[in-house]
Amino acid sequence: MGGEMKLGSRGLKSWAQRHLNVGFAVGFLLVLLTYLVVSGQLAVTAPDAVATKAPRVADKQVIVRAAGDDADGASKRQSKEAAEEEDTSGTVPTEESPKTDEADAKPSAETTTTSKAVCNTDGPVSETCELDGDVRTNGSARSVTFVPASPSSERREWKVRPYSRRTMSSVDRVTVTQLESSPQQDPAASPAACAVTHNVPAVLFALGGLTGNYWHDFSDVLVPLYAASRRYKGEVLFLVSNLQPWWLGKYEAVVRALSRYDAVDLDRDARVRCFRHLTVGLRLHKELSIVPDLAPDRLTMADFTAFLRETYALPRGAPVIPTAERKPRLLLIHRAHYRRFVNVPEIRRAAESAGFEVSVASPRGDAPVEETAQMVNSHDVLLGVHGAGLTNAVFLPAGGVVIQVVPYGRLERMARTDFGEPVADMGLRYLEYSVAAEESTLLEMLGPDHPVIKDPDSVHRSGWDKVAEYYLGKQDVRVDVNRFAPTLAQAMDHLRQ
Ligand SMILES: *[C@@H]1O[C@H](CO)[C@@H](O)[C@H](O)[C@H]1NC(C)=O
């Protein structure tokens, strides 16, 4: 080991070609999105505040509750629950703790007395609905119908973007309709008859969007999908709109571990499917992470990475404790196009002097995830310039170390939002190395008097375009190995503890 290696090279070639192009094109969009989120935060919150709780605070939730149709519980609950409650305080989590008067409800999903629609369409990031009761889908019509058990429910309609970022206008919305009353009360308002009745719950979500970018694959889909569906232990059906076969192929192991059933291509599904529980849309709690307060079963990002290690049968759950005989292994991610390290051999020698066994890898979009996961898991430390390759931290053993090299130009806040916080949430140690002007190729390209070098704040004030063009798009990094040495030493210290 220790030589140049590629992160895999075979499989899904034609998909991958497209994927790579898409990935490249959306690369900047990714950073723009998080940049905007971060700028927005800057405007309204203290500098050290994080976005963790923001979605929850800002979300407006509408809870509609109705009595169930079981004989023994219905009359008792009717008066209490038939009324529509509207909660605008924004503090009610999607997954509520059960009400005391539901304590005697029968445990199995088929006989549950719950009938409610909880939609959350005003959040800053995601739009979702949780539907319990009589739920019917017509995929090709992009419609979901909720038939309330209560005769006094009013008709309501929500438009839900099933991709985790509501701003993703390339992904079509789904219409969720709550009918006015139950069919027994008003046969004219009857929904279409069930062609298929499912006795497992379903999660409806969209692909497309920014998928194809490795970081977005995880942040926008895999992590929120895990949070939405893990509680079902595989007994859940995925209804996928904007279905991308290459994506399902690439992440098949993860999708299979979450759902035992073949995913339904929603856009081509004209049959009416009936469920007792349906989640519409995926909720992004926080970039590349999970907020336990918002997740069913209080799942954490560390749970997600443990799940990945299990899914890909990754052997290492903890890093090496360095000894004289056993060196920890450091993986240096060498980007191919921009934000590259220009002095890889020198960095490698510095890391070796610090006591690491070093591998250098170039991420490839067409690499089978299984191979990448195994390769990354065999290391203890991941080192790379800010970019999608650092997403591979999800495969490190818990307690491992990630060193993010932040390119010149005041990109620290974005770097922390995209990787710093997620990495800490994964149970890894996070180290950050900010590149000085002298280590940036922008200095020799533009000279010391250019505003990009002299005054990064002014570049940020001018807007996103120049930030993306210079700091993200035209910059490579020549690490000053003397300045970098203490960071490497710190990484080693973390492993000794
Ligand atoms: C589902 O929606 C499509 C498109 O609107 C429609 O043509 C079809 O009849 C619907 N299916 C049923 C069973 O209602």
| 44-54 tens-digit pLDDT | 222 222 222 22
pLDDT score of 12 more than 50: no
Integer Rg of the chain from CA: 25
Ligand 1 atom, smallest distance to 272 CA: 13
Smallest CA separation from ligand 1 atom 3, residue: 141
Q: What integer pLDDT is reported at residue 61 of this predicted model?
A: 34
Tokens representing residue 209 in the block? 């969007």
Smallest CA separation from ligand 1 atom 2, residue: 141
Question: What's the CA-to-centroid distance between 131 and ligand 1, angstroms?
Answer: 21
List all residues whose CB is within 6 A of at least one atom of ligand 1: 138, 140-141, 192, 270, 272
- C-alpha distances (whole Å) from 340 to each of 154, 375, 376, 476 are 58, 21, 19, 5
Higher pLDDT, 225 or 62: 225
* Domain definitions of the chain by residue range: 4-8+313-496, 54-95+108-310
Q: What integer pLDDT is reported at residue 476 of this predicted model?
A: 97
One-character DSSP codes across 294-333: GSGGG--HHHHHHHHHHHTT-S-SSPPPP-SS---EEEEE
Tell me 440's DSSP state. B
Q: What integer pLDDT is reported at residue 82 of this predicted model?
A: 28
Q: In this structure, which amino acid lies at residue 62?
A: V
CB-side neighbour CA atoms (13 Å) of 79: 2
Q: What integer pLDDT is reported at residue 152 of this predicted model?
A: 74
User: Reduced to 3 states, what is the DSSP secondary structure of residue 148?
Assistant: coil
pLDDT score of 480 more than 90: yes
Contact 356, 330 (CB under 8 A): yes
Question: What's the CA-to-centroid distance between 266 and ligand 1, angstroms?
Answer: 12
The pLDDT confidence band at residue 186, using thresholds 50, 70 and 90, is low
**Per-residue model confidence as pLDDT tens digits over 369-406:** 999 999 999 999 999 999 999 999 999 999 999 999 99
Segment among 90-94, 112-116, 152-156, 194-198 with least mean pLDDT: 90-94
Main-chain phi, psi angles of 82, to 5 degrees: -65, -30
Contact 248, 255 (CB under 8 A): yes
Residues 6+ apart with CB under 8 A from 447: 453
Q: What integer pLDDT is reported at residue 358 of this predicted model?
A: 98
pLDDT score of 70 more than 90: no
Beta pairing partners, 40: none
Q: Give CA–CA dist 235/349, Å, rounded.
A: 50
Segment among 114-128, 285-299, 449-463 with least mean pLDDT: 114-128
Smallest CA separation from ligand 1 atom 8, residue: 270
Most confident stretch, 22-31, 172-181, 351-360: 351-360
Contact 115, 148 (CB under 8 A): yes
Q: Give CA–CA dist 314/416, Å, rounded.
A: 27
Q: Which residue do the tokens 């739009």 mark?
A: 127
Main-chain phi, psi angles of 382, to 5 degrees: -115, 130
Tokens representing residue 39 in the block? 């700028």
- C-alpha distances (whole Å) from 387 to each of 336, 411, 416, 432, 469 are 11, 12, 12, 13, 15
Higher pLDDT, 42 or 198: 198
Encode burial over 195-210: b for 16+ CB neighbours within 10 A, e otherwise.
eeebebbbbbbbbbbb
Tokens representing residue 406 in the block? 């932040």
Main-chain phi, psi angles of 411, to 5 degrees: -105, 10
Question: What's the CA-to-centroid distance between 93 and ligand 1, angstroms?
Answer: 34
Q: At CA 109, angle to CA 107 and CA 115, rounded to 5?
A: 100
Composition of the chain by helix, strand, coil, percent to 5: 40, 20, 40
**Per-residue model confidence as pLDDT tens digits over 210-230:** 999 999 999 999 999 999 999
Q: How many residues does the chain have?
A: 497
Smallest CA separation from ligand 1 atom 4, residue: 141
Q: In this structure, which amino acid lies at residue 150?
A: S
pLDDT score of 232 more than 80: yes
Ligand 1 atom, smallest distance to 270 CA: 1
- Percentage of the chain modeled with pLDDT above 70: 76
Q: What integer pLDDT is reported at residue 363 of this predicted model?
A: 77
Q: What integer pLDDT is reported at residue 185 of this predicted model?
A: 54
**Per-residue model confidence as pLDDT tens digits over 83-97:** 222 222 322 233 333
pLDDT score of 114 more than 90: no
Question: What's the CA-to-centroid distance between 399 and ligand 1, angstroms?
Answer: 52
The pLDDT confidence band at residue 189, using thresholds 50, 70 and 90, is low
Mean pLDDT value across residues 274-292? 97
Question: What's the CA-to-centroid distance between 303 and ligand 1, angstroms?
Answer: 40
- Percentage of the chain modeled with pLDDT above 90: 70
Tell me 186's DSSP state. -
Ligand 1 atom, smallest distance to 138 CA: 1
Question: What's the CA-to-centroid distance between 269 and ligand 1, angstroms?
Answer: 9
Q: What integer pLDDT is reported at residue 184 of this predicted model?
A: 56
Higher pLDDT, 494 or 98: 494
Smallest CA separation from ligand 1 atom 9, residue: 270
What mean pLDDT, rounded, does the chain reach? 81
The pLDDT confidence band at residue 367, using thresholds 50, 70 and 90, is confident
Ligand 1 atom, smallest distance to 195 CA: 13
Q: Which residue do the tokens 């203490």 mark?
A: 486
Tokens representing residue 394 in the block? 């999800």
Mean pLDDT value across residues 274-282? 97
Q: What integer pLDDT is reported at residue 153 of this predicted model?
A: 79
Q: Within 10 Å of residue 326's Cβ, how many Cβ atoms?
A: 10
**In whole angstroms, what separates CA 483 from the centre of its chain?**
34
Encode burial over 104-139: b for 16+ CB neighbours within 10 A, e otherwise.
ebeeebeebbbbbbbbbbebbbbbbbbbbbbbbbbb
Smallest CA separation from ligand 1 atom 14, residue: 192
Burial of 52 (0-12, 13-18, 19+ CB in 10 A): middle
Contact 404, 419 (CB under 8 A): yes
Contact 445, 469 (CB under 8 A): no
Residues 6+ apart with CB under 8 A from 99: none
Q: What integer pLDDT is reported at residue 187 of this predicted model?
A: 57
pLDDT score of 495 more than 80: yes
Main-chain phi, psi angles of 34, to 5 degrees: -70, -30
Encode burial over 330-340: b for 16+ CB neighbours within 10 A, e otherwise.
bbbbbbeeebb
Residues 6+ apart with CB under 8 A from 154: 84, 178, 180
Smallest CA separation from ligand 1 atom 10, residue: 270
The best mutation among 136, 137, 138, 274 to test binding of ligand 1, ranked by most ligand atoms within 8 Å of the C-beta, falls on 138
Question: What's the CA-to-centroid distance between 171 and ligand 1, angstroms?
Answer: 20
pLDDT score of 176 more than 80: yes
The best mutation among 140, 143, 264, 271 to test binding of ligand 1, ranked by most ligand atoms within 8 Å of the C-beta, falls on 140
Ligand 1 atom, smallest distance to 271 CA: 13
Q: What integer pLDDT is reported at residue 234 of this predicted model?
A: 98
Smallest CA separation from ligand 1 atom 11, residue: 270
Say which CATH architecture domain 4-8+313-496 belongs to.
3-Layer(aba) Sandwich (3.40)
